Amino acid sequence: MDRIKKALTEKGKKVFVPYIMAGDGGLEALKDRLLFLQDAGADAIEIGIPFSDPVADGPTIQQAGIRALAQRITVKKVLNDLKSYQTEIEIPLILMTYSNPVVAYGIEAFAFDAANAGISGCIIPDLPLEEEELVLAPFEQNGISLIRLVTLTTPKERIKKIAESASGFIYAVTVTGITGSRNNFSEDLAEFLSFVKSESSVPVLAGFGVSTQEQVEEVCKHCDGVIVGSKIIDLFEQGEREEIKKLILSAEKISV
Protein backbone atom coordinates (compact mmCIF):
# COMPACT_ATOMS: atom_id res chain seq x y z
CA MET A 1 0.00 0.00 0.00
CA ASP A 2 1.21 3.51 -0.87
CA ARG A 3 1.05 4.90 2.66
CA ILE A 4 1.99 8.43 1.64
CA LYS A 5 -0.62 8.74 -1.10
CA LYS A 6 -3.28 7.35 1.24
CA ALA A 7 -2.34 9.71 4.08
CA LEU A 8 -2.28 12.78 1.83
CA THR A 9 -5.61 12.12 0.13
CA GLU A 10 -7.88 10.68 2.80
CA LYS A 11 -8.24 13.90 4.81
CA GLY A 12 -9.90 15.81 1.97
CA LYS A 13 -7.88 19.00 2.47
CA LYS A 14 -4.84 20.75 1.16
CA VAL A 15 -1.61 19.22 2.44
CA PHE A 16 1.18 20.85 4.43
CA VAL A 17 4.54 19.08 4.71
CA PRO A 18 7.22 20.82 6.79
CA TYR A 19 10.93 20.10 6.32
CA ILE A 20 13.47 19.91 9.13
CA MET A 21 17.15 19.00 9.17
CA ALA A 22 17.97 15.95 11.29
CA GLY A 23 20.54 16.89 13.90
CA ASP A 24 20.07 20.65 13.68
CA GLY A 25 20.03 21.61 17.35
CA GLY A 26 21.44 18.20 18.21
CA LEU A 27 19.94 14.80 17.48
CA GLU A 28 17.99 15.03 20.74
CA ALA A 29 15.94 17.86 19.16
CA LEU A 30 14.63 15.65 16.35
CA LYS A 31 11.95 13.77 18.30
CA ASP A 32 10.69 16.94 19.96
CA ARG A 33 10.33 18.73 16.62
CA LEU A 34 8.68 15.79 14.90
CA LEU A 35 6.08 15.43 17.65
CA PHE A 36 5.48 19.18 17.70
CA LEU A 37 4.91 19.30 13.93
CA GLN A 38 2.64 16.26 14.07
CA ASP A 39 0.55 17.84 16.85
CA ALA A 40 0.47 21.15 14.96
CA GLY A 41 -1.32 19.48 12.04
CA ALA A 42 1.42 18.51 9.58
CA ASP A 43 0.23 15.83 7.15
CA ALA A 44 3.72 14.35 6.69
CA ILE A 45 7.23 15.51 7.54
CA GLU A 46 10.30 15.70 5.34
CA ILE A 47 13.54 15.01 7.22
CA GLY A 48 16.79 16.20 5.69
CA ILE A 49 19.94 14.15 6.12
CA PRO A 50 22.98 16.46 6.52
CA PHE A 51 25.38 16.16 3.60
CA SER A 52 28.60 17.95 2.69
CA ASP A 53 27.54 18.84 -0.87
CA PRO A 54 23.78 19.62 -0.85
CA VAL A 55 23.42 20.90 -4.42
CA ALA A 56 19.65 21.55 -4.22
CA ASP A 57 19.73 23.45 -0.93
CA GLY A 58 19.86 27.18 -0.35
CA PRO A 59 21.73 29.05 2.42
CA THR A 60 19.28 28.36 5.27
CA ILE A 61 19.18 24.60 4.76
CA GLN A 62 22.92 24.49 4.04
CA GLN A 63 23.61 26.18 7.37
CA ALA A 64 21.28 23.77 9.15
CA GLY A 65 23.22 20.92 7.56
CA ILE A 66 26.53 22.43 8.65
CA ARG A 67 25.25 22.72 12.22
CA ALA A 68 24.12 19.09 12.12
CA LEU A 69 27.41 17.85 10.67
CA ALA A 70 29.24 19.69 13.46
CA GLN A 71 27.27 17.43 15.83
CA ARG A 72 28.68 14.40 13.94
CA ILE A 73 25.25 13.40 12.68
CA THR A 74 25.24 10.41 10.33
CA VAL A 75 22.55 8.53 8.41
CA LYS A 76 22.92 5.59 10.80
CA LYS A 77 22.47 7.77 13.87
CA VAL A 78 19.36 9.39 12.41
CA LEU A 79 17.75 6.06 11.51
CA ASN A 80 18.58 4.54 14.90
CA ASP A 81 17.09 7.57 16.63
CA LEU A 82 13.89 7.45 14.56
CA LYS A 83 13.52 3.72 15.18
CA SER A 84 13.55 4.24 18.95
CA TYR A 85 10.27 6.19 18.91
CA GLN A 86 8.66 5.31 15.58
CA THR A 87 5.46 4.11 17.25
CA GLU A 88 4.83 7.69 18.43
CA ILE A 89 4.83 9.08 14.89
CA GLU A 90 1.50 8.56 13.16
CA ILE A 91 2.07 10.54 9.95
CA PRO A 92 4.40 9.60 7.07
CA LEU A 93 8.07 10.48 7.36
CA ILE A 94 10.05 11.20 4.20
CA LEU A 95 13.83 11.34 4.06
CA MET A 96 15.50 13.89 1.82
CA THR A 97 19.06 12.89 0.99
CA TYR A 98 21.48 12.56 -1.92
CA SER A 99 22.77 9.62 -3.92
CA ASN A 100 26.19 9.49 -2.27
CA PRO A 101 25.01 8.81 1.32
CA VAL A 102 22.61 6.11 0.10
CA VAL A 103 25.25 4.34 -1.98
CA ALA A 104 27.86 4.69 0.77
CA TYR A 105 25.44 3.18 3.31
CA GLY A 106 24.58 0.34 0.95
CA ILE A 107 21.33 0.68 -0.99
CA GLU A 108 19.71 -2.52 0.29
CA ALA A 109 20.79 -1.85 3.87
CA PHE A 110 19.60 1.76 3.65
CA ALA A 111 16.17 0.73 2.41
CA PHE A 112 15.82 -1.97 5.08
CA ASP A 113 16.98 0.24 7.95
CA ALA A 114 14.90 3.21 6.77
CA ALA A 115 11.75 1.08 6.63
CA ASN A 116 12.45 -0.27 10.11
CA ALA A 117 12.82 3.31 11.33
CA GLY A 118 9.33 4.18 10.07
CA ILE A 119 10.31 5.92 6.83
CA SER A 120 7.62 5.84 4.13
CA GLY A 121 9.36 7.74 1.33
CA CYS A 122 12.65 9.12 0.11
CA ILE A 123 13.60 12.14 -2.02
CA ILE A 124 16.94 11.97 -3.85
CA PRO A 125 17.19 15.15 -5.98
CA ASP A 126 20.44 14.21 -7.74
CA LEU A 127 19.13 10.81 -8.87
CA PRO A 128 17.76 11.19 -12.43
CA LEU A 129 14.94 9.12 -13.84
CA GLU A 130 17.38 7.17 -16.00
CA GLU A 131 19.28 5.90 -12.93
CA GLU A 132 16.36 5.11 -10.62
CA GLU A 133 16.86 1.38 -11.14
CA LEU A 134 19.70 1.65 -8.65
CA VAL A 135 17.22 2.03 -5.80
CA LEU A 136 13.76 1.06 -7.06
CA ALA A 137 13.76 -2.65 -6.23
CA PRO A 138 15.09 -2.30 -2.64
CA PHE A 139 12.76 0.63 -2.00
CA GLU A 140 9.70 -1.21 -3.30
CA GLN A 141 10.58 -4.36 -1.37
CA ASN A 142 10.65 -2.31 1.82
CA GLY A 143 7.55 -0.23 1.13
CA ILE A 144 9.41 3.04 0.54
CA SER A 145 8.10 5.43 -2.10
CA LEU A 146 10.69 7.12 -4.29
CA ILE A 147 9.45 10.70 -4.56
CA ARG A 148 10.12 12.17 -8.01
CA LEU A 149 10.75 15.84 -8.70
CA VAL A 150 9.66 17.95 -11.67
CA THR A 151 10.65 21.56 -12.33
CA LEU A 152 9.51 24.55 -14.33
CA THR A 153 12.09 23.62 -16.98
CA THR A 154 11.18 19.93 -17.20
CA PRO A 155 9.79 19.19 -20.70
CA LYS A 156 6.14 18.14 -20.75
CA GLU A 157 6.92 14.73 -22.23
CA ARG A 158 9.37 14.05 -19.41
CA ILE A 159 6.80 15.17 -16.83
CA LYS A 160 4.38 12.65 -18.34
CA LYS A 161 7.01 9.91 -18.10
CA ILE A 162 7.82 10.78 -14.48
CA ALA A 163 4.12 10.85 -13.60
CA GLU A 164 3.50 7.41 -15.10
CA SER A 165 5.51 5.66 -12.39
CA ALA A 166 5.10 8.16 -9.55
CA SER A 167 4.40 6.97 -6.02
CA GLY A 168 3.71 8.86 -2.80
CA PHE A 169 3.47 12.29 -4.38
CA ILE A 170 5.15 14.36 -7.07
CA TYR A 171 7.41 17.14 -5.79
CA ALA A 172 6.84 20.14 -8.06
CA VAL A 173 9.69 22.62 -7.73
CA THR A 174 8.26 26.13 -7.87
CA VAL A 175 11.45 28.05 -8.73
CA THR A 176 14.40 27.77 -11.05
CA GLY A 177 17.24 27.34 -8.58
CA ILE A 178 17.85 26.25 -5.01
CA THR A 179 15.68 26.26 -1.89
CA GLY A 180 15.05 29.45 0.04
CA SER A 181 12.47 32.18 0.48
CA ARG A 182 11.23 34.13 -2.56
CA ASN A 183 9.20 37.32 -2.82
CA ASN A 184 7.30 36.13 -5.87
CA PHE A 185 6.98 33.24 -8.29
CA SER A 186 7.09 32.81 -12.04
CA GLU A 187 4.00 33.80 -14.02
CA ASP A 188 4.11 30.27 -15.46
CA LEU A 189 3.76 28.56 -12.07
CA ALA A 190 -0.03 28.12 -12.08
CA GLU A 191 0.00 26.63 -15.58
CA PHE A 192 2.92 24.36 -14.65
CA LEU A 193 1.25 23.03 -11.51
CA SER A 194 -2.05 22.52 -13.29
CA PHE A 195 -0.33 20.50 -16.01
CA VAL A 196 1.52 18.29 -13.53
CA LYS A 197 -1.75 17.66 -11.68
CA SER A 198 -3.50 16.71 -14.91
CA GLU A 199 -0.87 14.03 -15.57
CA SER A 200 -0.48 12.64 -12.05
CA SER A 201 -2.38 9.89 -10.25
CA VAL A 202 -0.71 10.85 -6.95
CA PRO A 203 -0.87 14.17 -5.06
CA VAL A 204 1.21 17.06 -6.41
CA LEU A 205 2.97 19.11 -3.75
CA ALA A 206 4.82 22.34 -4.49
CA GLY A 207 8.05 23.26 -2.76
CA PHE A 208 11.10 25.56 -2.86
CA GLY A 209 10.54 29.22 -2.08
CA VAL A 210 7.24 28.93 -0.20
CA SER A 211 7.62 30.84 3.06
CA THR A 212 4.54 32.91 3.97
CA GLN A 213 0.89 32.16 4.72
CA GLU A 214 -0.08 34.14 1.63
CA GLN A 215 2.22 32.07 -0.57
CA VAL A 216 0.91 28.84 0.94
CA GLU A 217 -2.65 29.88 0.17
CA GLU A 218 -1.82 31.04 -3.37
CA VAL A 219 0.21 27.97 -4.36
CA CYS A 220 -2.33 25.56 -2.85
CA LYS A 221 -4.97 26.85 -5.28
CA HIS A 222 -3.13 25.09 -8.11
CA CYS A 223 -1.97 21.82 -6.51
CA ASP A 224 -2.64 19.48 -3.59
CA GLY A 225 -0.40 21.12 -1.03
CA VAL A 226 2.97 22.58 -0.17
CA ILE A 227 6.33 21.70 1.31
CA VAL A 228 7.99 24.39 3.43
CA GLY A 229 11.59 24.05 4.58
CA SER A 230 13.73 27.15 5.01
CA LYS A 231 11.03 29.11 6.82
CA ILE A 232 10.35 26.21 9.22
CA ILE A 233 14.06 25.97 10.01
CA ASP A 234 14.26 29.74 10.64
CA LEU A 235 11.20 29.70 12.91
CA PHE A 236 12.56 26.82 14.98
CA GLU A 237 15.86 28.71 15.31
CA GLN A 238 13.98 31.80 16.47
CA GLY A 239 11.77 29.86 18.88
CA GLU A 240 8.65 30.99 17.00
CA ARG A 241 6.62 27.80 17.30
CA GLU A 242 3.28 29.57 17.24
CA GLU A 243 4.19 31.01 13.82
CA ILE A 244 4.90 27.48 12.61
CA LYS A 245 1.42 26.44 13.71
CA LYS A 246 -0.12 29.36 11.82
CA LEU A 247 1.82 28.46 8.69
CA ILE A 248 0.69 24.84 8.84
CA LEU A 249 -2.95 25.80 9.38
CA SER A 250 -2.91 28.25 6.46
CA ALA A 251 -3.13 25.34 4.00
CA GLU A 252 -6.50 24.34 5.45
CA LYS A 253 -8.06 27.63 4.37
CA ILE A 254 -8.06 26.58 0.72
CA SER A 255 -10.99 24.55 -0.51
CA VAL A 256 -10.14 21.22 -2.15
Q: Catalogue the active-site residues.
A: 46, 57
Q: What is the CA radius of gyration of the chain?
A: 17
- Is the separation of the CB atoms in 236 and 186 below 8 Å? no
3-state secondary structure (DSSP) of residue 225: strand
What b/e readout covers 123-143, taking b as 16+ CB neighbours within 10 angstroms? bbbebeeeeeeebbebbeebe
In the Cβ-directed half-sphere of 164, how many Cα atoms lie within 13 Å? 7
Q: What span, in angstroms and rounded, lies between the C-alpha atoms of 178 and 244?
A: 22
DSSP state of 50: P
